[in-house]
Amino acid sequence: MLLIKNGRIINPQSNQDEITDILIIDEIIKDIGKDLPFAANTEIIDAEGMIVAPGLVDIHVHFRDPGFTYKEDIESGAKAAAKGGYTTVVMMANTNPPIDNIETLKYVLNKGNKTGINIMTCAAVTQGLKGVETVDMAALKEAGAIGFTDDGIPLLDEEIVKSALKEAAKIGLPISFHEENPSYIRNNGINEGYASEQLGIYGSSREAEIVMIKRDLALAKEAGAKVVIQHISTKEGVALVRQAKADNVAIFAEAAPHHFTLTEEAVIKKGALAKMNPPLRTEEDRIAVIEGLKDGTIDVIATDHAPHSKEEKERDIKAAPSGIIGLETALSLGIRELVNKGYLTISELIERMSSNPAKLYELPAGNIMIGKSADLVIFDPSVMWVAEEFTSKSQNSPFIGEKMPGAIHYTICKGKVVWHSVTVS
């Protein structure tokens, strides 16, 4: 038994925001209230001064397993997630081999079941991520896939997109799109504009994202499928999604913490540590992403956790791979950039990092409710910590050395403590 006492429970799904206690027996929330009776051998966590929220849910992570486990593997990724307050994550399919077949899907899910947190995965949209032939979506759903994406690679063939949308709508699973047309990209990961000019190289035009979002929103409306626009980075992209959502409730969008925190100037200062796809863009774009999160145009904050080795990131800026890690800093960046600056309430932040992503994928997560799994994060938004050594195998973060608010004290998944900090300062 586990009793969490005196915590401020914030649960967006029930609009609960009060100081009370939670009693957990086995994996389940047994009771919520004050002065709850408990057995003599009950473990007690005193959460006075802390927020108790539903465990965070990240619908966009790369755990590099199978195939690239020197960057990250399912076990190390799960540990990084737990440290960041996440109890549920959804893996992307661009592994090696890709998750386009039942054998690889089962490997990922079986390995994930041993980690202590909830690891789900999307399957690929196309065989081998080649954009030529769609996978057997129905069979992969039956085997445990919860969505489909070729994330990392845009789907350029419009007929393939139509076919995939039609099948996704038929089986009732979301399909997520990486929106970057390579025709508008000379060197990916760097915004075409001030950053590319300062670095003396060609970059990635904002049109690369805009034209793809425009196409896929139009196709989604025809198909009636549940569609997710991934890691949105441009003000035009936000506006297109806002317009589409006005008459299509099946459109969703996600934003990564780096896109609401940083601009293209970061890649000039940090080099490849701030290189990602889509790239960091202008201050206008950053504010547009924040406004999209504020008004609900962007439903979900997802990290796009993308580990790479130190050696890879130390290559020349054009040769270094795109992507940064994000699981361990996401909540703090949300507090610092969105809550403390008045854009979102803490409840709205939790909604976009927990209950909204859970609802999108229809997961049994993102809620604090009697009789449901005890998946919780306990944190203090006022306590500072320094982003130094990460639990992830990789350390490719532009936030290294920064002091951040929002120390996570406990992450609890299925009633068990999977992360506990004793070194918060």
Active site residues: 304
Cα gap 219→227, rounded to integer Å: 10
CA angle, residues 317, 255, 277, in degrees to nearest 5: 20
Distance, CA of 423 to CA of 425 (rounded, Å): 6
- Find residue 251's DSSP bridge partners: 227
Amino acid (one-letter) located at 384: M
Which residues contact residue 121 at a Cβ distance below 8 angstroms, ignoring those fewer than 6 apart?
90, 91, 92, 93, 99, 105, 108, 109, 112, 144, 145, 146
Q: What is the C-alpha to C-alpha distance for residues 346 and 331, in angstroms, rounded to an integer?
A: 10
d(CA 32, CA 371): 10
Residue pair 323/273 in contact by the 8 Å Cβ criterion: no
Cβ atoms of 324 and 276 within 8 Å: the answer is yes
Long-range Cβ contact pairs of 96-103 (< 8 A, separation 24 or more) = 96/66, 96/67, 96/68, 97/66, 97/67, 98/124, 98/128, 98/129, 99/123, 99/124, 99/145, 100/124, 100/126, 100/127, 100/128, 100/129, 100/135, 100/140, 101/135, 102/139, 102/140, 102/143
- Which residues fall within 8 angstroms of residue 372, CB to CB, at 6 or more apart? 28, 29, 364
Pairing of strands 2-11, 51-54: parallel
How far is residue 415's CA from residue 44's CA, in Å, rounded to a whole number? 13
* Helix H or strand E encompassing 259: helix 257-261
Separation CA 119–CA 59 (nearest Å): 10
